[in-house]
Structure 1
Amino acid sequence: ALRAAGYGIPGEIVDGQDVSAVYQSAAYAVTRARAGQGPTLIVANTYRFDEHNIGLAVSGEPYRQVAEVEAHKRDRDPILLYRTVLLEEGVNEETLATIEHEVAQAVTQAVQFALASPMPRPETLPDYMFVSTIAR
C-alpha cells in the first residue's frame, strides 16, 4: 500500500482471505472512483490454492508441499471462513444451502451464456471504460 503513495493515490492492505475486509475495501475504492476521485490500490494478501500455471502441475515438481496447501484450504478458505461468520451471525444451514444452490445455478447459466456468446470485437474494448482519457 505504500507503493500507492508514489502514484499519489490511496492504498490499503487487506486480508484477501477475509470476505468482509475485501468487500469493505472494494466498496471504498468503488465509491471513490465513481465520485471521480481516482483509483485506489488494494493489496489483498491471499493464498493461491493452485499453481501459477499448468506446467508446474504437469511437471510433477510443485514448489509447495501438499500439506501446506491442504492446511490453507482447511483453515483459510475465504468461502469457508465467511460461511462460519454467517453461521455465527445467525444464518441457518438451510438458508446457506439455498444460497449455495442459487449461486451454482447462476454460475452454470453464466458459463453457458459465455460459451454460447460470440467473441467480443477488438473495437468494443473501450465500451465500458469509466474514463475517456488516460493521464500521461
Structure 2
Amino acid sequence: MTQHTASNPTAARSRSSSWAEGGTVFAGILMMIGGVLGILNGIAGIATDDVYQAIGSYVYEFSLTTWGWIHLVLGALVAVTGWGVLKGMDWARGVGIGLAALYMIEYFMFLPYAPVWSLISIAIAGFVIWALATGDRTARTV
C-alpha cells in the first residue's frame, strides 16, 4: 500500500527540501548573472558619461563615473558570492543576503537612470534574500 505525501512527513520534507535547494541554486545563478551584468554596467559607466540619461533631478545624484565604480565593485562582489552560494560555502549565505540588500539599495538609488531595470533588479534581490534566508543550509549543490 502506497502512502500519500500528506500522511508521510518524510516525503513532504524531502519535497520541501528539493524546493529549498532549487531556490538556493536559482538564487546563486541570479547572483552570478546580476553580478556580471553589474560589472558590464560599471565598465560602461566608467568608460563614458553619456551611457545613461537621468530623468529629472533626484536626491541621490552621483556622476555616472561614480555609478560605474559602484556597479563594478558591487557586481564583482555579488558574482563571487553567487559562486560561493552555488558551491555551498557557509559564508556565502550571510554575505549573499547582505549584498542582495545593498544591491536593492543601489538600484533604488539608480532608479532615474534605468527605471525598468532597477525595478527588475530590486525584485530579483528580494527573491535572492528570501531564497538564501529560507533555503536548506546543508545542501551542497554544484
**TM-score range relative to shorter protein:** under 0.3
In terms of fraction of residues, the more helix-rich structure is 2
Compare CA radii of gyration and give the structure with the larger one: 1
Q: TM-score, normalised by structure 2?
A: 0.23
In terms of fraction of residues, the more strand-rich structure is 1
Larger relative contact order (Cα-Cα within 8 Å, sequence gap ≥ 6): 2
Q: TM-score, normalised by structure 1?
A: 0.24
